[in-house]
């Protein structure tokens, strides 16, 4: 199915969805952030058709989320997350936490994310003020920034 482009919309969410909105994209990035590097690793993990995986990996390279390299020891291509790709980690964590809350597995969380250094679980993703105070849903608002258009002005409740 061909989706409508959001490239004309002056909206950060719409611009991100131009790259991230296809359903395989975040799953490929999840696997890349978990350490998958080779085509066959992505293919086995996702059960995705080779032609679709090829197209998605090429798009992620073109968009700067993955870098395609040749592995020195095997001469096989590898896909390594760039800084832009690594910056998706909090997005994937937030989606995972949302999924655990609203689409839970009956036996409990599918994954527990922990601080590598201390081995303790992290808190669910949430908004935090500059001074470290946690904000609950509904306790934040958005104001128009210098790159925004007046029609995007969030409504005040």
Between CA 112 and CA 119, with CA 115 as vertex, the angle to 5 degrees is: 80
At residue 152, the pLDDT reads 58
Q: What are phi and psi of 81, to 5 degrees?
A: -60, 135
How many C-beta neighbours within 10 Å does residue 67 have? 15
Question: What does the pLDDT profile of the chain (157 residues) look like in tens digits?
Answer: 566 778 788 888 889 999 999 889 999 999 999 999 999 999 999 999 999 999 999 999 999 999 999 988 888 999 999 999 999 999 999 999 999 999 999 999 999 999 999 999 999 888 999 999 999 888 988 888 888 877 655 555 5
Give the pair of three-digit tokens for residue 66: 């993955």
The model's pTM is: 0.86
Tally of helices (H runs) and strands (E runs) in the chain: 6, 4
Q: Are 91 and 100 in contact (CB under 8 A)?
A: no
Q: Are 66 and 85 in contact (CB under 8 A)?
A: yes
Distances (CA, A) of 46 to 27, 40, 52, 76, 140: 8, 10, 11, 20, 36
Q: Shortest CA distance to 32 belongs to which of 49, 57, 58?
A: 57
Give the pairing of strands 77-81 and 66-70.
antiparallel
Select the CATH number that applies to the domain covering 12-82 from these four: 1.10.10.10, 1.20.58.1610, 3.40.50.620, 3.30.930.10.
1.10.10.10
Largest distance between two CA atoms of the chain: 58
How far apart CA 49 and CA 127 sit, in angstroms, is: 37
How far apart CA 71 and CA 79 sit, in angstroms, is: 10
Residue-range domain boundaries for the chain = 12-82, 88-140
């Amino acid at each position: 199915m061909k989706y409508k482009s959001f490239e004309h919309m002056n909206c950060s969410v719409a611009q991100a969805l131009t790259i991230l909105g296809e359903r395989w994209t975040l799953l490929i990035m999840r696997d890349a952030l978990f350490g998958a590097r080779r085509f066959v690793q992505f293919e086995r993990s996702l059960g995705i058709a080779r032609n679709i995986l090829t197209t998605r990996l090429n798009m992620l390279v073109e968009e700067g989320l993955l870098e395609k390299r040749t592995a020195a020891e095997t001469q096989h291509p590898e896909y390594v997350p760039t800084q832009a790709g690594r910056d998706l980690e909090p997005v994937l964590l937030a989606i995972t936490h949302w999924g655990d809350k609203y689409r839970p597995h009956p036996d409990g969380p599918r994954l527990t994310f922990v601080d590598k250094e201390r081995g303790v679980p992290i808190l669910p993703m949430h908004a935090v003020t500059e001074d470290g105070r946690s904000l609950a849903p509904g306790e934040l608002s958005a104001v128009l920034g210098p790159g925004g258009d007046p029609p995007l002005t969030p409504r005040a409740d």
